[in-house]
């Protein structure tokens, strides 16, 4: 088993990581699972594999369906008629759709359907940079096409009701909206990590594979219940960008940064929390960014650099 450094492009094995590998092996001895190796950051061969583009297509279609169903429910709820499903129904439409789509696509692409989930897993070195980049492009394109379907089928309601675009509520400050997006995304990405954790999957091997998408869908559902009154609940830059691009009003673009900055901060915090606190994995080996231990030894994906901390 070889360890690969994170800050090298198209990386090669490094013998200096032997001690780190021994530590990982020691941590897994006597257990019924093996800690997966951190994913290579860049593999040129991946661009020549059909599996990458098949996964990208799955992400595109899943995000298209997610945005179409969720935005349609939100617009339907905004109408002044008894046909609305209410905030509870809107939250359920987003959560249930994620549950179903993650179940359908997990075996092909991992079922991200959200750039912040992709970022969070990239930070935990669960996939490569090229794959993450392709996924985000597919997700953004899917969101735009999903919003386009809603606009095409419900043109007048889409324009009148703002395309169900995420904006910060006038009843709350910008800081509150940003905090809500950070907390909501942190919760979602933390649940994704927990549901897909190698240790948990080994321990709970009796649990049907499809059931592991249930907590992810429930996380989306409850976060929507909590966040809809504040920002309409983004926690997914693709879902926020698609309707905004099709509605294309200044109001949509004024608050758009909240639905990128907030989720990305939340995803980063959730990835670090799960890898270093919940799983207590070796510093630097399972996270994209350099990490510093209390002794002043910096670890950059497995390579230790001695530093002096001045007080």
3-state secondary structure of 299: strand
Note the CATH architecture for domain 42-280.
Up-down Bundle (1.20)
> How many CA atoms lie less than 13 Å away from 291 in the CB half-sphere?
20
CA 284 to mean position of chain CA atoms: 21
Instruction: Give the pLDDT of residue 299.
Output: 40
Instruction: Give the pLDDT of residue 276.
Output: 83
* Tokens describing residue 161: 């009701």
Distance (Å, whole) CA 57 – CA 59: 5
User: Helix H segments across 79-213?
Assistant: 86-105, 115-123, 129-153, 155-160, 174-195, 198-203
What pTM did the predictor assign? 0.79
Q: What is the DSSP letter of 298?
A: E
Do 243 and 165 touch, CB atoms closer than 8 A? yes
Q: What does pLDDT average to over the chain?
A: 80
Distance (Å, whole) CA 155 – CA 84: 17
CA 32 to mean position of chain CA atoms: 28
Closest residue by Cα to residue 134 from 57, 189, 64, 32? 57
Do 305 and 7 touch, CB atoms closer than 8 A? no
Dihedrals φ, ψ of 209, to 5°? -55, -40
* Tokens describing residue 91: 């939250």
What is the tens place of the pLDDT at every residue in 184-208?
999 999 999 988 887 766 565 556 6
Closest residue by Cα to residue 150 from 255, 235, 70? 70
- In order along the chain (311 residues), what is the average pLDDT of each group of 10 residues? 37 44 47 65 80 95 97 82 75 96 93 95 89 96 96 92 90 95 97 83 60 90 95 95 93 92 96 84 61 38 37 34
Do 291 and 144 touch, CB atoms closer than 8 A? no
Q: Specify the DSSP element, H or E, that contains 303.
A: strand 303-306
What is the tens place of the pLDDT at every residue in 207-246?
666 677 899 999 999 999 999 999 999 999 999 999 999 9
């Amino acid at each position: 088993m070889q360890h690969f450094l994170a800050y090298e492009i198209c990386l090669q094995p490094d013998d200096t990581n032997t001690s780190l590998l021994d530590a990982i092996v020691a941590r897994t001895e006597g257990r019924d699972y093996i800690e997966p190796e951190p994913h290579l950051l860049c593999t040129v061969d991946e661009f020549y594999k059909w599996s990458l583009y098949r996964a990208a297509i799955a992400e595109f279609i899943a995000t298209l369906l997610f945005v179409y169903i969720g935005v349609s429910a939100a617009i339907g709820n905004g109408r002044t008629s008894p046909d609305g499903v209410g905030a509870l129904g809107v939250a359920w439409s987003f959560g249930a759709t994620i549950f179903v789509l993650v179940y359908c696509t997990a075996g092909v692409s991992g079922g991200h359907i959200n750039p912040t989930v992709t970022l969070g897993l990239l930070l935990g070195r669960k996939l490569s940079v090229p794959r993450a980049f392709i996924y985000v492009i597919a997700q953004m394109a899917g969101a735009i096409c999903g919003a386009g379907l809603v606009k095409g089928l419900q043109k007048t309601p889409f324009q009148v009701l703002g395309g169900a675009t995420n904006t910060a509520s006038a009843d709350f400050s910008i800081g509150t909206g940003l905090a809500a997006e950070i907390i909501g995304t942190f919760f979602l990405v933390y649940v994704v990590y927990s549901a897909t954790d190698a240790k948990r999957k080994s321990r709970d091997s009796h649990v049907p594979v499809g059931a592991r998408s249930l907590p992810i869908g429930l996380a989306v559902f409850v976060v929507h219940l909590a966040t809809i009154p504040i920002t309409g609940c983004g926690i997914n830059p693709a879902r926020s960008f698609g309707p905004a691009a099709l509605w294309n009003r200044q109001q949509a673009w004024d608050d758009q940064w909240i639905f990128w900055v907030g989720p990305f901060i939340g995803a980063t915090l959730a990835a670090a929390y799960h890898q270093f606190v919940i799983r207590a994995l070796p510093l630097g080996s399972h996270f994209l960014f350099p990490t510093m231990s209390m002794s002043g030894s910096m670890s950059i994906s497995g390579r230790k650099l001695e530093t002096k901390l001045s007080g």
